[in-house]
Amino acid sequence: MPNPLVQECIARIRQRCPQVPDLGIVLGSGFAEVSSQVDVAADWSYGDLPGFAKASVPGHAGRLLLGRLAGVAVAVFAGRAHYYEGHGFDLITHPVRVLSELGARSLLLTNAAGGIRSGLKPGDLVVIQDHLNWMGTNPLRGGALPEGFVDLTEVYDAGLRQMLHAAAATLGCVLPEGVYAAVSGPSYETPAEIRALARLGADLVGMSTVPEAIVARQCGLKVAALSCVTNLAAGLGGRISHTEVLAHGRRLGPLAASLLNAFCQQYSRTVLSGQP
């Protein structure tokens, strides 16, 4: 059954901009600078879009931009709502459902994360290859069945991941891959929790991304995700603060923006032109 809030949001967007985005990009902490590279056709504050939560976390602008990035028609979500803010998963994943209804095929999610795996350090960008959902619930819970039984064997598309690696190569850098563990927050994890997550196979830990990825797969979108390591996880370094997260994010801003621009160039050459 069509979601009335999604349909209302689509109607409001279409009133100002008929562009159909091919790629959606969610900008987490550390990726805000990407917005400045978009050739914007129209933009909205989240507060003006039905079903969107106003941004309240520092580093999240709370705007939807429709336009082009490196020639690709994009919908850029500058900031996201978080579970730790008290929002339900329906609200958190609402932008993904809107993106799908707008006609997009792919979604690139970005976030700030704590590094767990030995060798990861603040300033690294990591391609997410898989995830652990430690948030305590699932965004599809309570929805219609069998539509809620979504295969998550390959959440993060191999082709899109390869485009991220190819984009990094054009910038002269190599991106490691890792498993991202999503927790509810807002408190940072304890050292014991980090040791447990490491034993379960987690390389990174954060408080977002997984609900959006699950709903995107339900909607049939191809998904890629990229983490910016902004701190070492608890017990692996010093004390952790959001100020530190934002500081490392700002330092990574230019590289993150260049990488996403290069990714869109790869996307244009491979997905849009059909070239191998």
> Does the CA dihedral 197-202-217-253 come out positive or negative?
positive
Active site residue 248: no
Question: Three-state DSSP class for 42?
Answer: strand
* Whole-number Å distance between alpha carbons of 143 and 141: 6
> Does the CA dihedral 198-202-206-212 come out positive or negative?
negative
Question: Residue type for 146, please?
Answer: P
Active site residue 208: yes
- Catalytic position from the list 8, 41, 45, 85: 85
Other C-beta atoms within 10 Å of 272: how many?
Answer: 15
Active site residue 84: yes
- Catalytic position from the list 3, 45, 61, 84: 84
CB 6 within 8 A of CB 94: yes
Active site residue 87: no
Active site residue 133: no
Active site residue 131: no
Active site residue 85: yes
- Catalytic position from the list 55, 60, 248, 256: 60
Cα dist from 210 to 82, 183, 235, whole Å: 11, 9, 24
Question: Three-state DSSP class for 177?
Answer: strand
Active site residue 60: yes
Which H or E run contains 12? helix 4-16
**Which residues, 6 or more positions from 266, have their beta carbon under 8 angstroms from its beta carbon?**
163, 164, 166, 167
Please tell me the number of Cα atoms within 13 Å of 40 on its side-chain side. Answer: 13
Radius of gyration, alpha carbons of the chain: 17
CB 23 within 8 A of CB 221: no
CB 240 within 8 A of CB 186: no
Active site positions, annotated: 29, 60, 82, 84-85, 112, 207-208, 231, 242
